[in-house]
Structure 1
Amino acid sequence: MEKKILFISKGLHYVAHLILLIMMFTVTVDVLGRFLINRPLLGSYEITQMGLALTVFFSLAYTHYVKEHITIDFVVEKFPPTVQKIFDIVISLVIAALMGVICWQLWESAQRFLKSNAVTGDLGIPVYIFYIMAMVGTVVFALVAFVNALALIQKEDYHNES
């Protein structure tokens, strides 16, 4: 199960890279069009706005998996390894629970936007689609945090890697 979740989180991370590439080209074409021919790219603001949100949500799980999130542990590192392990397990479970709540709220918002037929201003893209995609990233992040907690519980010798 852990390998499948890693595969999905890595895949979402690569999709986030692709979205960043699209955003880069969009902004470049928009700026060049604005200054060279006085015609900005229609919808560039929407593409970058939604793309940035998806980039964040799609990258969270893999970033957590490779332990690249910022941690402030100057107090926790003074405790014995067993206590540090307990802290890390609790933190991973809290992250999983919070991501579950965020996922639920994203689902509620997606349903609301679907019922109201809300679309973006220039391109007319349905907004609920972005909420559902963000929800996918959140679910994967919650699963990574939960699997991380289980792995920490099973680990016998513990050394904080952060």
Structure 2
Amino acid sequence: MYMMLSRVSESVARFLAIAGGLLLLVIVVLTCVSIAGRALFSAGICCGPIRGIYDYTEIGVATAIFAFLPWCQYRMGHASVDLFKSAMPDVMNRFLNVVMDVGMFALAFLVAHRLWLGMLDKQRYGETTLIAQVPVWIGYAACLVGAVGFVMVAAFCILRSVRALIKHENLEEGQI
């Protein structure tokens, strides 16, 4: 059962990270096309920049950031202070991993919950971006996909760190 949950968590995290990376590539291409269009327009050759490129970039980058969070959590890549780690016994370090994973789960859940409420609020009031007039709730919904993945992976990470505590296994950052 644990191995299946590990594979599912890793697959979700990997899929979201790859999707976030591809989204960033699309944003880079759109930005380059917009810049080229602006330059060519001033020369009288093209139709101009992409209208609302700032809006699309803002939504896309936020979505990509949320898509990367589950992978970072799964790989134990979040920032940590290892000042006293070498001086503490292994059991204490494993216990602190459990505490940190519970804290990350709580944070992930809180962020996902607030994104959900924000999305409903933006949808209810029909707020749109300034230039492209894209409904703002779409950006919230896109970010919510990564946030829900973050919650799922963070829940698994609690299980993983509790298992390591009980079985006296050491988990190494980035070696998962």
TM superposition score normalised by structure 2 = 0.85
Q: Is 1:16 aligned to residue 20 of structure 2?
A: yes
2:108 and 2:154 in contact (8 A); partners too: no
Give the share of equivalent positions with the same residue, in percent. Answer: 23
Q: Is 1:61 aligned to residue 65 of structure 2?
A: no
Q: Which residue of 2 aligns with 1:3?
A: 7
Unaligned runs of at least 5 residues, structure 2: 43-47
The separation in 2 between residues aligned to 1:158 and 1:74, in whole angstroms, is 21
Task: Give, in angstroms, the shift of residue 21 of structure 1.
Answer: 0.9
From 70, 89, 97, give the equivalent of 1:88: 97
Task: Give, in angstroms, the shift of residue 35 of structure 1.
Answer: 2.0
Counterparts of 1:27-46 in structure 2 under 5 Å?
A: 27-38=31-42, 39-46=48-55
- C-alpha spacing 1:16/1:32, structure 2 compared with 1 (3 Å): same
The separation in 2 between residues aligned to 1:35 and 1:129, in whole angstroms, is 30
Task: Give, in angstroms, the shift of residue 57 of structure 1.
Answer: 0.2
Q: Which residue of 1 aligns with 2:45?
A: none
AA partner of residue 110 (structure 1): M
Task: Give, in angstroms, the shift of residue 87 of structure 1.
Answer: 0.4
Counterparts of 1:93-112 in structure 2 under 5 Å?
A: 93-112=102-121
Q: Which residue of 2 aligns with 1:25?
A: 29
Q: Matched residue of 1:74: which SS? A: coil
From 144, 150, 172, give the equivalent of 1:161: 172
Unaligned runs of at least 5 residues, structure 1: none
Q: Which residue of 2 aligns with 1:48?
A: 57
Q: Which residue of 1 aligns with 2:139?
A: 130
Q: Matched residue of 1:109: which SS? A: helix
AA partner of residue 160 (structure 2): A
Task: Give, in angstroms, the shift of residue 54 of structure 1.
Answer: 0.5
1:81 and 1:160 in contact (8 A); partners too: no
Task: Give, in angstroms, the shift of residue 45 of structure 1.
Answer: 0.6
* Corresponding residue pairs, total: 162
The separation in 1 between residues aligned to 2:54 and 2:31, in whole angstroms, is 8
Identify the range of structure 1 (51-60 vs 140-149) with the bigger mean alpha-carbon deviation: 140-149
Q: Is 1:143 aligned to residue 143 of structure 2?
A: no
